[in-house]
Amino acid sequence: MSTINKSATQISSTILSNKRIGAYHQILLSIGDLASLCRPGNFVAIAVGDESSKMILRRAFAISRITHGSASGGAMELIVAPHGSGSRWICAQPEGSDIDIVAPLGKAFGIPTSPVNALLVGGGYGSAPLFGLAEVLKARGCRVDMLLGASTGSKIYAPLEGKRSASTLKIYTEDGSMGERGRVTAPISALIQRGTIDVIYSCGPMSMLRAISDLTEGTDVVHQCAVEESMACGIGICMTCVLPVKGEDGTISMLRSCIDGPVMDSSTVAWDLVGKTPPAVTL
């Protein structure tokens, strides 16, 4: 088998539940044996609309959590913001309906082999995959602290059961409607200087990922971020979701965030070239 998309499978999946939580929908999908292949940071690509739909492209969502067991096998949880025509369609699907999914896709978060101090930073619904990650890290003996931010309280996703896997959880909103007023990146600099963080895991808007990257640059803190670029296919054939990434020899390559990401080492991303054309390739 090919090494690209090596765990990816296309299946028809039944929606087990679809609940509104604040500004988001929590959707639970029955995925059977695929559950054992999914890792925190992986994503799923979902076909939207029916046969007569004018929407021809799949929608990509970070896998929020995986649950194993029960009679029906494994399940996948997604946190979906109904902000576009495709995500609104998914959020409108009733329990019991079947949808076409391809999963698991993409590179997962790297999990340290020995216990470390991990800081998990989530922006908006970007917090969703961090709770599954926190469980895995905690099981490895890591200390897990979590910072969540959003523009307003209804856009903070922080489920009760998820909070248990973090030692501390602080919430920031720009309008001050929940937690502290301000940006989620505000306390990071002080935390790094205190020397109590080994790894930062982040998921959220690109501006947030870049801001964290600026803070970790030149420090010993490793920063793994799950990037967000619009993609047409999710499986590496459309070449639309590329990001400029620095290789070991310093050359820039336009890497697909679906296959070489979404999780990337932020120190390798050429953030100042995102959305620009890198210098011409030299042979």
Partner 1 sequence: MKIDYEGFDFSTSLADASFPSPIFTASGCASSGKELAQFFDLSEIGAVVTKSVMNKPRHGRPTPRMAETPSGMLNSIGLQGPGIDYFLANDVPWLLNKGSRVIVSIAGETIDEYSVLARKIRAVQGISAIEVNISCPNVENRGMVFACQTDTAARAIDGVRKIIGGEIPIIAKLTPDVTDITSIASSVVDAGADALALINTVLGMVINLDTMRPHLGGKTGGLSGPAIRPVAVRAIYQVHSAMPQVPILGMGGVASGRDALELILAGASGISVGTASFGDPSAIPRIQRELHSLLLARGFKSLREAVGYAHRSIEEGS
The site for partner 1 (CB under 8 A) is made up of: 1-6, 8, 10, 47, 54-58, 100, 102, 229-233, 235-244, 252-254, 259, 274-278, 280-281, 283
- 133: Cβ–Cβ under 8 A, 6 or more apart, which residues? 40, 41, 109, 120, 201
Q: Give the nearest distance from C-beta 260 to partner 1 in angstroms.
A: 12
The smaller minimum CB distance to partner 1, of residues 3 and 114, is found at 3
Q: Shortest gap between Cβ of 226 and partner 1 (angstroms)?
A: 17
Q: Which is nearer to partner 1, 55 or 186 (CB)?
A: 55
- C-beta closer to partner 1: residue 132 or 261: 261
Q: Say which residues have a Cβ less than 8 Å from residue 100's Cβ, sequence separation at least 6.
A: 10, 11, 12, 13, 46, 47
Of 116 and 254, which has the nearer Cβ to partner 1?
254
Task: Indicate the residue among 205 and 236 with the shorter CB distance to partner 1.
Answer: 236
**Token representation of residue 274:** 């995102």
CA 167 – CA 155 distance, rounded (Å): 22
d(CA 158, CA 95): 23
Helix (H, G, I), strand (E, B) or coil at 268: helix
β-pair partners for 118: 144, 199
157: which 2 tokens? Answer: 């996703």
CB of 241 to partner 1, least distance (A): 8
